[in-house]
Structure 1
Amino acid sequence: MLNYTQIIITLFVSFFLAALSGPLIIPLLRRIKAGQSIREEGPESHFSKAGTPTIGGIIIILATIIAALIIGGSSSEMWILIFSLLVFGAIGFVDDFIKVVLKRNLGLRAYQKIIMQFLAALLLVLFHLQTSGSTFVLVPFIKESIQIGGFIIPEYLDLGGFYIPFMIFVIIATVNSVNLTDGLDGLASGVSAVVAVFFALLATSLGFIEAGIFSGAIAGACLGFLIFNANPAKVFMGDTGSLALGGGIVAVAVLTESVLLIPIVGGIFFIESLSVIIQVISFKLTGKRVFKMSPIHHHFEMSGWQETKVVTVFWTATTMLAVFAVFAIR
């Protein structure tokens, strides 16, 4: 029970750190004129958001790191988690800074982002292998090894030589999926909070105490950030926050050997990415769009849904997916 108490304490500490730092950081973002630009082809309701301070992900990053270190202390596992949060957040910060402060709309080139993310993912995997040496991943819905035909499906699957490339793919995919989800007031922060709570409880139940505390810190920071990011948003997290969240969440999944649960509990992240992939492929092959606009949260907006309704539905769906994911590991 003590370990779960630590998670609750960490969540509250992180929440209050984010809530208290917001009024200090948001004016600084205004001072450097870090205002968000809005896509012209987007929903008309978004035009009023132009100029809203972005790069607010700094609030989430600081609150998470401070709370995690205060409650969880310093350890190799904790520093691996912090590394992932920081390095992906740094990639997002550079992109945000170029776009909104230096006023260069393109920001980092796509190939530059991928190269940086690849190197960050590779380092995360190598650090994990150095500390644990494990190339196993938890297989959802398998409590004990079962045999189907001539195949044996184990509870934990050893990826062996495929571990590094597979993990790099999962890490990059997750980070960019969280980034794509960040398009409506409170959407990415709310969904990430639910996912982080799930991984906090999972990590603790599996004995990964530092990962549980760190994930609890992410959840608290997201909830504290929601004070300023809920509709109407006073600040956006930017790529600084969305890439950091993706990096932090996937790092917990890597250390707890539970990356195969991400498409379940993080189903909204997966659907957001899938909608973009489908849209691009359809347009390139047929010249037609499947969705009115992608990622899919914009499709619902263009279909007449209020922004708050889309966010509420996606939060609810994530909560239901988290409950479903619990049964995937029982």
Structure 2
Amino acid sequence: MVIQLIPALAVALFLYYQPFFDTHLYIPFTGASLALGWGYIPLIVLILMCVPISVNITDGLDGLVAGCMLFAGIAYGVLAYVAGATYFHGYVNTQHVPGAQELMVFWAALLGATLGFLWYNRYPAKVFMGETGAQFLGGALAMTAILIKREILLLLIGGVFVLEALSVISQVISFRLTGRRILRMSPIHHHYELKGVEEPKIVVRFWILAFLLALAGLSSLRW
């Protein structure tokens, strides 16, 4: 935890003291924003710590994280391009972030590598992502959301990762308070495994959910 906290805090302080950095928190689908000021520092730290952990928690079935990250990464790549390209701003609802379109190049390279990895990581997997890969992908997603001012959309576009993390949190809280488990096993993908659902079927259904959530996140551009 400390190993994650120190670099997250360093990034937060670095961004906060940049004269160009906007410390408003923009609320999608409403056009509203909150001026957080120094309060943006703990928000950045929270995002940079929680998102990689959530992605790592999701990495429990062959192809699950890689497939879900493809959809989330495509969505944030598009959002980054739109945020950086000035000619979209009369048509879509987004905050202009100069140079943000370059992040789409980064995501194109990263998702190309992820797609190649998924070829061998699909069920039955021949290669595995491991904690390093999952944490890196989660960190990239979190950092992109912060830079293009689309932090709240992580809850929607990264909804599969949020669901997985919440399933673990709920399981722990329930067991400590009542002595009972609300799931057969957490994270939730293992719950479905123990219910007899085949692993490939679970993975594909989570991919479908990730795809729909990514589309929902992109729809914020017109609200």
- C-alpha distance in 2 between matches for 1:201 and 1:250: 15
Q: Give the counterpart letter for 1:136 in structure 2.
A: H
Match among 124, 149, 172 for residue 49 of structure 2: 172
For 2:6, the equivalent position in structure 1 comes to 119
- C-alpha distance in 1 between matches for 2:116 and 2:160: 21
Whether the aligned pair in 2 keeps the contact of 1:211 and 1:256 (CA below 8 Å) is no
Q: Does 1:196 align with 2:83?
A: no
Shift of 1:214: 1.5
Whether the aligned pair in 2 keeps the contact of 1:175 and 1:245 (CA below 8 Å) is yes
Shift of 1:159: 1.3
CA-to-aligned-CA distance 1:17-63 (integer Å, 9 cap, x gap): xxxxxxxxxxxxxxxxxxxxxxxxxxxxxxxxxxxxxxxxxxxxxxx
Shift of 1:304: 1.0
For 1:57, the equivalent position in structure 2 comes to none
Tell me: CA distance 1:239–1:311, structure 2 relative to 1, closer, same or farther (3 Å): same
Q: Give the counterpart letter for 1:197 in structure 2.
A: I
Task: Spell out the pairing of 1:70-109 with structure 2 (5 A cutoff).
Answer: none
For 2:164, the equivalent position in structure 1 comes to 272
Whether the aligned pair in 1 keeps the contact of 2:51 and 2:138 (CA below 8 Å) is yes
Shift of 1:130: 4.3
Shift of 1:229: 0.6
Tell me: CA distance 1:218–1:158, structure 2 relative to 1, closer, same or farther (3 Å): farther
- C-alpha distance in 2 between matches for 1:293 and 1:215: 33
TM-score w.r.t. structure 1 length? 0.61
Match among 272, 281, 286 for residue 178 of structure 2: 286
Shift of 1:290: 0.4
Unpaired stretches in structure 2, ≥5 consecutive residues: 85-99
- C-alpha distance in 1 between matches for 2:216 and 2:21: 30
CA-to-aligned-CA distance 1:273-330 (integer Å, 9 cap, x gap): 0000000011111111000000000001111110001100000001001111122232
Whether the aligned pair in 2 keeps the contact of 1:203 and 1:209 (CA below 8 Å) is yes
Whether the aligned pair in 2 keeps the contact of 1:138 and 1:157 (CA below 8 Å) is yes
Task: Tell me the matched-pair count.
Answer: 206
For 2:58, the equivalent position in structure 1 comes to 181
Match among 205, 218, 228 for residue 82 of structure 2: 205
Larger Rg computed on CA atoms: 1
Identity of aligned residues (%): 42
- Note the aligned Cα RMSD (angstroms): 1.2
Whether the aligned pair in 1 keeps the contact of 2:16 and 2:41 (CA below 8 Å) is no
CA-to-aligned-CA distance 1:206-240 (integer Å, 9 cap, x gap): 10112222122222221111011111101111001
Q: Give the counterpart letter for 2:64 in structure 1.
A: L
Tell me: CA distance 1:171–1:189, structure 2 relative to 1, closer, same or farther (3 Å): same
- C-alpha distance in 1 between matches for 2:180 and 2:199: 25
Whether the aligned pair in 2 keeps the contact of 1:204 and 1:211 (CA below 8 Å) is yes
Q: Does 1:139 align with 2:27?
A: yes
